[in-house]
């Protein structure tokens, strides 16, 4: 039995982050690709509360919630640090991940998937929220500084996913004109030696996400 298993989905932005964390640390793991429309009994057993991917299974013990899993990985295995060392920098990294997941990412997802007024409002909200990230990345190569860190890995939705899905619905929210610094970060991100070989293929992603796009696009 493999010591480390990851229940995920190849196109899930949350399980991808955990894979990147494991790969950064050089941890060997077995990836169990879940069909999100038909979740396996094992997944439901290991994450009975949220019933979601990703779930990490280490020595038979399950851990759920991507940011919790990533901190666990950082604390358990040797290798490059994912979170900064300094407590203040760590707090800032956690803050930005929470902002991306609970505010910015939510609005961006709704902008892509919600019909009518809800979608329109979400577009406006996302446009405002992205400005904070635009400001935060100014003058920096990556959110983590000289190299990628927790925030960069967790900003994968902005770094790669959204560019693909906004095209599906003909949305021009995240553009070079509106967010030059953020788009420069995106270029560096998708061409980063570690990231680029691990990104799910664009055409497959486009197909997979059509199912979630707002109706009538």
Partner 1 sequence: MFGMRVRVALAEKGIEYERREDNLANKSQFLLEMNPIHKKVPVLIHNKKPICESLIIVQYIEEVWKDKSPLLPSDPYQRAQARFWGDFIDKKVYESGTKIWTTKGEELEKAKKDFIESLKLLEGELGDEPYFGGEEFGYLDVALITFYSWFHAYETIGDFSIEQHCPKLMEWVKRCMERESVSKSLGDPHKICDFVLMLRKKYGIDQ
Q: Which helix (H) or strand (E) holds 62?
A: strand 61-64
Beta bridge partners of 73: none
**Cβ proximity of 57 and 6 under 8 Å:** yes
Question: What residues contact residue 27 under an 8 Å CB cut-off, 6+ apart?
Answer: 4, 73, 77
Which CB, 99 or 179, lies closer to partner 1?
Answer: 99
Which CB, 81 or 206, lies closer to partner 1?
Answer: 81
Exposure string for 164-199, b = 16+ CB within 10 A, e = fewer: bbbebbebebbeeeebebbbebbebbeebeebeeeb
Closest separation between CB of residue 55 and partner 1, Å? 11
What residues make contact with partner 1 under the rule CB under 8 A? 49, 58, 61, 63-65, 67-69, 71-72, 75-76, 87-88, 90-92, 94-95, 98-99, 103, 132
Question: What residues contact residue 211 under an 8 Å CB cut-off, 6+ apart?
Answer: none
- In degrees rounded to 5, what are phi and psi of residue 133? -70, -35
Which CB, 105 or 169, lies closer to partner 1?
Answer: 105
Q: Which helix (H) or strand (E) holds 31?
A: strand 30-33
Beta bridge partners of 6: 31, 56
Closest separation between CB of residue 184 and partner 1, Å? 22
Closest separation between CB of residue 94 and partner 1, Å? 5
Closest separation between CB of residue 146 and partner 1, Å? 21
Closest separation between CB of residue 16 and partner 1, Å? 19
Separation between Cα atoms, residue 113 and residue 157, nearest integer Å: 14
Which CB, 58 or 192, lies closer to partner 1?
Answer: 58
Closest separation between CB of residue 99 and partner 1, Å? 6
Which CB, 118 or 135, lies closer to partner 1?
Answer: 135
Which CB, 89 or 199, lies closer to partner 1?
Answer: 89
Separation between Cα atoms, residue 117 and residue 153, nearest integer Å: 32
């Amino acid at each position: 039995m493999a010591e480390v298993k990851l229940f995920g989905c190849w196109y899930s932005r949350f399980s991808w982050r955990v894979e990147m964390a494991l790969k950064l640390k050089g941890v060997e793991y077995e990836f169990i690709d879940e069909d999100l429309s038909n979740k396996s009994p094992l997944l439901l057993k290991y994450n009975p509360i949220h019933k979601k991917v990703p779930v990490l299974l280490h020595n038979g013990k399950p851990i759920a919630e991507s940011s919790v899993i990533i901190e666990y990985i950082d604390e358990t295995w040797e290798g490059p640090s994912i979170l900064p060392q300094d407590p203040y920098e760590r707090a800032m990294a956690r803050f930005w991940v929470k902002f991306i997941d609970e505010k910015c990412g939510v609005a961006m997802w709704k902008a892509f998937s919600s019909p009518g007024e809800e979608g329109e409002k979400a577009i406006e909200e996302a446009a405002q929220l992205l400005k904070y990230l635009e400001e935060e990345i100014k003058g920096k190569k990556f959110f983590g500084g000289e190299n990628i860190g927790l925030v960069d890995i967790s900003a994968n939705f902005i770094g790669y996913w959204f560019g693909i899905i906004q095209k599906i619905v003909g949305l021009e929210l995240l553009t070079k004109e509106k967010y030059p610094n953020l788009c420069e970060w995106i270029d560096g991100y998708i061409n980063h030696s570690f990231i680029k070989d691990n990104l799910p293929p664009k055409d497959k992603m486009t197909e997979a996400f059509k199912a979630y796009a707002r109706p009538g696009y």
